[in-house]
Structure 1
Amino acid sequence: MCVEQFQQTSSVVESDICGRDADKKMIINWLTSDTDNMLSILSIVGMGGLGKTTLAQLVYNDPRIEGKFIVKAWVCVSEEFDVLNVSRAILDTFTKSTENSDWLEIVHTKLKDKLRGNRFLLVLDDVWNESRPKWEVVQNALVCGAQGSRILVTTRSQKVASTMRSEQHHLQQLQEDYCWKLFAKHAFHDDNPQPNPGYNEIGMKIVEKCGGLPLALKSIGSLLHNKSFVSDWENILKSEIWEIEDSDIVPALAVSYHHLPPHLKTCFAYYTLFPKDYEFDKECLIQLWMAENFLHCHQGSKSPEEVGQQYFNDLLSRSFFQQSSENKEVFFMHDVLNDLGKYVCGDIYFRLEVDQAKCTQKTACYFSVAMNNKQHFDEFGTLCDTKRLRTFMPTIRIMNEYYNSWHCNMSIPELFSKFKFLRLNYCRYLKEQPSNLHELTNLHRLEFVNTKIIKVPPHLGKLKNLQVSMSSFDVGKTSEFTIQQLGELNLHGRLSFWELQNIENPSDALAADLKNKTRLVELELEWNWNRNPDDSAKERDAIVIENLQPSKHLEKLSIRNYGGKQFPNWLSNNSLSNVVFLKLHNYFKSSLDGIVSIGADFHGNGTSSFPSLETLKFSSMKAWEKWECEAVIGAFPCLQYLSISKRPKLKGDLPEQLLPLKKLQISECIQLEASAPRALELDLKDFGKLQLDWASLKKLRMGGHSAETDNGFDSQKTFPLDFFPALRTLHLRGFHNLQMITQDYTHNHLEFLKIRECPQLESLPGSMHMLLPSLKELRIYDCPRVESFPEGGLPSNLKEMGLYKCSSGLMASLKGALGGNPSLESLGIVELDAESFPDEGLLPLSLTCLRIRDFRNLKKLDYKGLCQLSSLKKLILGNCPNLQQLPEEGLSKSISYLFIGGCPKLEQRCQNPGGEDWPKIAHITTVFV
């Protein structure tokens, strides 16, 4: 059982499209042409896999139509055409909100109010409805838009188009030359045909069998990409599967599926549980595959996550999945492939659609159900004959998307007795688990991460094979879920213990039996920060932490606000040989003040200590004065990153064993002397003396006052950039005496430069346009004496810039510094004393994102300065209390994201509905006010 979130898509990757220019031109001409009709409808008609949705996406996202319509909406209809649900989905998408009413009249009234007087574009994707009365009910709510409104439909059926009385554009199969081009792109390296003419000859015959379907060409081309022998191509050409009789299945896709290895067939088939036409997260799908034991992990080989990544990438490379153009972590599957999955799976995988009759197949092992917002699925009795059920996956459909909240008063009757996997993650309304959960004798895995569960069944520990994953345990929050009960559970993954000071009897901690939780790989032990423990409490803390000894398989450990005077014995006896991350962190009112020296009680006296540790962090151990490690020759052999902060008394040298460090962070340790000759990354603030190979540094962050280095500069008045020829990232902060940054040579590697809170700094590095040619991001924070940008302007490759609390002189020189910079995409400005912004010609035309914040005196946005930004997509306005309204002319049609916050006068005018400025921004896809 699983609860997840899925989304639909109107995005498309244009690089994968060919041969549709004429179709696109025709539809755009139809959309932009003048007409006397109040509402016109066009249906794109064609068989599955032909590219109807892709063509509609191309048109929908084309900038030529942006200014033609006040509002746009994309709604995927799919096979079920329920008048109320479709109307509600259209309203939700237009208003970017959720309509909960079950009264059609109320929904239609709101929809008419939204569209009245506005020219709109509505795309209805994948329509199957052939009932004219149903369509006419929906259409009646859409006829009140302004003249020139359009509805674009995609459908496989000409009868559907006739039902809607629409114009029709019949999408044809790709022409032969485009078929070959698309096939070759996926079958051959660099689109180049193979030198062996046998490949080309067989390839042309295979292309012919694909029938001009783009999806089929991509899929079969991807299949052949790794086939190295002509004989492999011949076998695929001669496959009997090409003669498949089912008219709903594309033969080329069936051939591609047939040649998948068994493990990929299983993972592909699992997808059929999910609704059509949605986007999904890759990591989420991999986790589901893991839970179903689909990933074949061999002893000592890759982790399950790595195997899952490999499986996913294999399916992606064979075109079974496609990547969203808007979010590289989001993917989707064509509905024709979904049909193929249902065909090959038979009744083993069963998906119950929204408002479909509550019936299931008795042979179903995997079952999913889609519900509308606030719809309950408590009809478990209808599944009583589903004796083979292994997975139950509910999803809720809200605003045409699928979400991971489940409002259900759950009971677990006998029919679930064969469940193997129960996932209740992010069920934020769930406070307790069913009392008879322990009766699910076949349950192998239970997850309840990020829930409010405060009660678990008392006999859950009787399920000896059950793996339990939970994110946190709040000690003492309830008497119905105690720390002793954890001892009975086979815990997996990550677990945080909070409020450990509430353990009154330390033996309760021992009962948690963490030492035998061999699958618990990440552990956090935390006491409340707002306390001053007395001696008795400190002694109890020491016993509690001793009793919470984790297993030797632990990989990550964090200890926060521990009040004891010494480290637990299990930390020093080499029992944590697999730990790669260790953090000891304390806040103000609770500290390890009793620990003056770190030595054998921390890393032991053996020949080796923390053999796997890669990251070690100490914070706020205010009494710590010395680190003794001479006795352990092999301590920290794998340590790469060391962080020490807020140790004002720590002095002397760091242990010699730490010389191989790659990354070092030191903060507020003014008496410390350190040497890290191999370090490539440094983060330093208020440190003592440092010896490094400065010329090899890749990343440097420095701040504070006290600093002594071995290369001759004191980092007080001058920062010599030439001392750091390999730097890629430089961040200087809080140097109150720094006056200049000097350089004489070109720095080809520096890509990021941030200067913050340097009140005496008078200038930026000179000749930046020549000496910093690779700089991509520049941020200047609170440097009031910097009055201008360097002569020659800014580097031509600069893409992002942030100016915060800068002088008026620096802002005055901005126009000249940018100089029509063709690369700058993002600009953020904070605390500028201006009543109008931006001046005409100030900002480069390449800008796609503009952030304006804390302009206390800003009263208006200059339309002329904004309207020229034809590439601007994102506009963020924050903390401008006197900004009264948007320009009378409105905002650029190119803007797709608008955020307004801390601007009370403007926020009132931009409310939807009714705000005076709302019509000026109603066309924007995403608006936050």
Structure 2
Amino acid sequence: MGKSTLAQYVYNDKRVEEYFDVRMWVCISRKLDVCRHTEEIFESATKGECPRLDNLDTLQGKLIDKLQESGKFLLVLDDIWFDDSNNQMEWDQLLAPLVSQQAGSKVLVTSRRDTFSSALCCSEVVFRLENMEDSQFLALFKYHAFSEPEIRDPQLREKQEEVAEKIIKRLGKSPLAAKVVGSQLNGKTNISAWKDALTIQIDNLSEPGRALLWSYEKLDPRIQRCFLYCSLFPKGHKYDIEELVPLWVAEGFVNSCNMSKRMEDIGRDYFNEMVSVSFFQPVWEGYTRTPHVMHDLLHDLAESLSKQDCFRLEDDKVTEIPCTVRHLSVRVESMKQHKQSICRLHHLRTVICIDPVTDDINDVFNQILQRLKKLRVLYLSFYNKSKLPESIGELKHLRYLNIIRSLVSELPRSLCITCNFFSSVIKSIVCLSMLEGLPSNIDLFSNCCSLVLKNVPNLKILPCLPASIKKLKIKICPLLTFISNYELGQHDQSENIKRTDHVESELASVYEVSQPPTIFWKVLSSEHSSFKQLIPLIDTGTSSHLQTIGNALGRWPGEILDVKEDIIKAWICCHKQSIRLIYAGTAELPLVLPSRLCELTLSSCNITDGALAVCLDGLTLLKRLSLSKVMTLTTLSSQEVLQYSTKLCNLKIKECWCLRSLRGIRAATSLEHLRLASCPSLELSSGAEIMPLSLQCLEIRECMLAADFFCGDWPHLTYIFIWGCRSTPTLSFGSLTSLEDLSLYYLPDLCTLEGLASLQLHSLVLTNVPSLTTECISQFRVQKSLQVSSSVMLNHMLSAEGFTVPPRLNIIGCKEPSISFEESANFTSVVWLQFYMCEMRSLPTNLKCFSSLTDLQILHCYNISSLPDLPPSLRRIRIVNCGLLEKSCRAPDGESWPKIAHIRWKAT
């Protein structure tokens, strides 16, 4: 127990990150599959999708090349199961690409057993995890049971702590049981709910199943069904909320009675509830969206409770599938021998194919689909034919069709008679590399309220969409182009191309201060993929520029700024060629949308200024508009167009490198939330003239800010967030009297903020704003929360006349080797104090002056080795990933242990 958690701490430790050039994490869980696990190692190493290769030798060759060019690597093989019956040759084959690579590379293994393959060579370096000490186990339980919200009733808290000490004696010192039971009790103020946990009795560390079952029984019945459904996926599976929630909706697990919320949003609430009770735990994978995993023992619980309904077909030796099964997942290479067994499952609602199959899949599925008329969900990952079986159109109950990463190039006309598609069918058109067009018969989508086209790189034409669609997302369709007739007939192509010339200096200027530079790296990666699709259609002279971008993407994102000038020049050359291609067309390609559309997302496709105006004209019900990575866009639509967008309340524009003007945005009189990110050509000025008065929240990242942008009188604006922008030395906030929350990050040019005297902020963040003057800093007044990255800046505030320290104080990313707090300052109002990712070697010596402090958090501060004297009011202390300090605070002999021994709630 706790093996994977310990390995995650090692994997994410800053020193480990700095030592290894590449880090990889793969969960093995019971069944070793050389091909699949090699693919997972490759994907973990490259942070991208593995190419489709049928030959293992070729794949391993690519992995060897990647590891050779990358330097030292760390590979974590999590939760392996090895016994004498395992094929030693398979282990040798899996590990072969790792042999004789860069000196200093390591493989870290976690296992429930202490027998390993000889190929791992780890017989002499096995660390066996022992039971936790009572005090440590209690601290772990309290960490999860009392994390949030804070219990303000001291008598209730005392009773809860008394019950907590009894509960842990019944959990067998199982960390998983402590985590799950504690998370289930978190936030519950009814003491009887706590006492109910005393019915759990675990005799030893290896039997936490009773605690897990107890926690499961406390879940809402609908969430219970969603949890059991997860057993369809293998152990170690990475659950993605975007993948799982549409499945739950299609299966009918999500409560549809709440008319004020979409079913997808309710499904997300279910997912988040499972996270909050530790049934899911996040796995950080660097620059990608965070997936979640389920502990093997929780997976065992789901499997045991759902065995009559859910079945995983993973072994060719299986001869019989229970006739009661409603949900089936398939992970065998050949389905032919199981075809008859599947056809006998008359109650079957779900077929999920997780891995590729080698059969003639059309023949197999034609027979299956003709027999199983009640299917709701059909998930055909890696479908190996160009066309789906016609019999799919006879599935009148089908709610969800997923042909992600398949070879489908044509959708059958018979699909249009399947009249029950819900919004969850949006996953049907994702990652189809061969699909060039959608059926012109719009009956296919006649009952869709949502449609997503994502990663369909050969899609060129979008047919007229039915009136039922209210939500449309088009993402990563680089050949999909929309242009107005006016632009084809009259637009001077050379003028549009010249507009890119200014981008070079502005891109370099903005991304010079961007921290971290991952956005620049991700946008380039997307653009590189798009250009590769266009290469056969444009001037071959771009190939060398494309190679320059490709070589840069092989670097670690943190290194890419070293060659940014060359990369930007290469991108501009490729972009000019793509612009020429778009304006060389002879036919108008408008984007005509249903008038009932409420939400529109366009990302990594081509739409010109004129085509966007045609598209938005008349969308009077549009509430949300998102434009990202649309490099053909130079200006937003005019006031004449946007004046009809009377419902538009949320606008997001990001990574549109050539966008220069927001033009008619002031006409959007209902706009409340505006997010502008990574638009380096966009110089924001004269805010009073261009921005609508209805704004409530404004977020700006990596843009150009002029001195007068914030001079507008925006009576409803309460929130401003600015990150990584170049600006004039002075910005004025004089008329923003409603402003409550101000966050400023990475602003190297900013020296002065005017109008601070009129602001009464609830929350203030000042992180890496190095040029801000002392006079300016001393004018801030903050009521609730303050975050700074410099103790010098903080002390300037503390010494200012009339400044009161807010209740929450956060020191984050402080680079100073030592810090001290102004001795004369009054800290009696501070109840919560945090130090996060600071480089200091010691904490301020006058922490004892914080006489009302109840919570102290010290996170990822690697150099701090001891604690100063602490105030007697302190009730909680949390220390995470601070190796030296954790050692100092260890009971009973740690140097700092006597200073925290009396604190009832502590976690290290």
TM-score between the two structures when normalised by the length of structure 2: 0.54
1:284 aligns with 2:235: no
Out of 588, 592, 600, the position equivalent to 1:556 is 600
1:420 aligns with 2:376: yes
* Alignment partner, residue 514 of structure 1: 466
Out of 267, 270, 273, the position equivalent to 2:229 is 270
Q: 3-state SS of the aligned residue for 1:285?
A: helix
How does 1:37-436 map onto structure 2 within 5 Å?
50-55=1-6, 76-80=27-31, 125-131=78-84, 134-135=87-88, 138=91, 154-157=110-113, 166=123, 171-188=129-146, 199=160, 202-238=163-199, 250-324=209-283, 329-353=290-314, 357=318, 360-370=321-331, 375=333, 381=339, 382-396=341-355, 410-411=361-362, 412-416=365-369, 417=372, 418-423=374-379, 431-436=386-391
* Alignment partner, residue 551 of structure 2: none
| Bigger relative CO (Cα 8 Å, ≥ 6 apart) | 1
How does 1:558-597 map onto structure 2 within 5 Å?
560-561=607-608, 571=617, 576-581=620-625
For residues 99-157 of structure 1, give each alpha carbon's deviation from its aligned partner in whole angstroms, at most 9, with x where no partner exists: 9798999989x99xx99xx9999866434443278459857989998999998765445
Q: 3-state SS of the aligned residue for 2:236?
A: coil
The structural deviation recorded for 1:318 is: 1.9
Alpha-carbon distance in structure 2 between the residues aligned to 1:821 and 1:123: 36
* Alignment partner, residue 449 of structure 2: 492
- Contact 1:580 1:614 (8 Å CA) reproduced: yes
Relative to structure 1, the CA distance from residue 700 to residue 123 in structure 2 (aligned partners, 3 Å threshold; closer, same or farther) is closer
The structural deviation recorded for 1:388 is: 2.4
Paired amino acid for 1:301: S
Paired amino acid for 1:419: L
Relative to structure 1, the CA distance from residue 638 to residue 383 in structure 2 (aligned partners, 3 Å threshold; closer, same or farther) is same
Paired amino acid for 1:577: L
* Alignment partner, residue 646 of structure 2: 610
Alpha-carbon distance in structure 2 between the residues aligned to 1:586 and 1:184: 48
1:445 aligns with 2:393: no
- Contact 2:74 2:105 (8 Å CA) reproduced: yes
The structural deviation recorded for 1:338 is: 0.9
Higher helix share: 2
How many residue pairs align between the two structures? 657
Larger mean CA deviation between 314-323 and 452-461 belongs to: 452-461
- Contact 2:393 2:418 (8 Å CA) reproduced: yes
Q: 3-state SS of the aligned residue for 1:275?
A: coil
* Alignment partner, residue 412 of structure 2: 457
Paired amino acid for 2:322: Q
- Contact 2:335 2:357 (8 Å CA) reproduced: no
Relative to structure 1, the CA distance from residue 693 to residue 365 in structure 2 (aligned partners, 3 Å threshold; closer, same or farther) is same
Alpha-carbon distance in structure 2 between the residues aligned to 1:338 and 1:582: 37
The structural deviation recorded for 1:335 is: 0.6
The structural deviation recorded for 1:554 is: 3.2
Q: 3-state SS of the aligned residue for 1:469?
A: helix
The structural deviation recorded for 1:257 is: 1.6
Higher strand share: 1
Alpha-carbon distance in structure 2 between the residues aligned to 1:447 and 1:571: 33
Out of 677, 686, 692, the position equivalent to 2:712 is 692
The structural deviation recorded for 1:303 is: 2.3
The structural deviation recorded for 1:260 is: 2.0
Q: 3-state SS of the aligned residue for 1:280?
A: coil
Relative to structure 1, the CA distance from residue 386 to residue 689 in structure 2 (aligned partners, 3 Å threshold; closer, same or farther) is closer
Relative to structure 1, the CA distance from residue 130 to residue 442 in structure 2 (aligned partners, 3 Å threshold; closer, same or farther) is same
- Contact 1:120 1:150 (8 Å CA) reproduced: yes
The structural deviation recorded for 1:262 is: 0.7
The structural deviation recorded for 1:394 is: 2.5
Paired amino acid for 2:417: K
Alpha-carbon distance in structure 2 between the residues aligned to 1:522 and 1:337: 35
* Alignment partner, residue 912 of structure 1: none
Alpha-carbon distance in structure 2 between the residues aligned to 1:554 and 1:256: 39
Alpha-carbon distance in structure 2 between the residues aligned to 1:67 and 1:701: 25
The structural deviation recorded for 1:269 is: 0.8
Alpha-carbon distance in structure 2 between the residues aligned to 1:436 and 1:422: 13
Alpha-carbon distance in structure 2 between the residues aligned to 1:87 and 1:702: 39
TM-score between the two structures when normalised by the length of structure 1: 0.53
* Alignment partner, residue 660 of structure 1: 694
Relative to structure 1, the CA distance from residue 590 to residue 297 in structure 2 (aligned partners, 3 Å threshold; closer, same or farther) is same
For residues 864-890 of structure 1, give each alpha carbon's deviation from its aligned partner in whole angstroms, at most 9, with x where no partner exists: xxxxxx99xxxxxxxxxxxxxxxxxxx
Relative to structure 1, the CA distance from residue 136 to residue 628 in structure 2 (aligned partners, 3 Å threshold; closer, same or farther) is closer
Paired amino acid for 1:421: V
Alpha-carbon distance in structure 2 between the residues aligned to 1:215 and 1:767: 50
Paired amino acid for 2:466: L
Relative to structure 1, the CA distance from residue 250 to residue 520 in structure 2 (aligned partners, 3 Å threshold; closer, same or farther) is closer
Out of 626, 629, 636, the position equivalent to 2:669 is 636
Relative to structure 1, the CA distance from residue 732 to residue 85 in structure 2 (aligned partners, 3 Å threshold; closer, same or farther) is closer
- Contact 1:430 1:453 (8 Å CA) reproduced: yes
Q: 3-state SS of the aligned residue for 2:413?
A: coil
For residues 579-598 of structure 1, give each alpha carbon's deviation from its aligned partner in whole angstroms, at most 9, with x where no partner exists: 44398999999999xx9x96
- Contact 2:484 2:614 (8 Å CA) reproduced: no
Alpha-carbon distance in structure 2 between the residues aligned to 1:236 and 1:379: 47
- Contact 1:493 1:519 (8 Å CA) reproduced: yes
Alpha-carbon distance in structure 2 between the residues aligned to 1:612 and 1:768: 40
Alpha-carbon distance in structure 2 between the residues aligned to 1:571 and 1:70: 50
For residues 567-586 of structure 1, give each alpha carbon's deviation from its aligned partner in whole angstroms, at most 9, with x where no partner exists: 69x955xx733544398999
The structural deviation recorded for 1:414 is: 3.8
Paired amino acid for 1:527: F
Q: 3-state SS of the aligned residue for 1:483?
A: coil
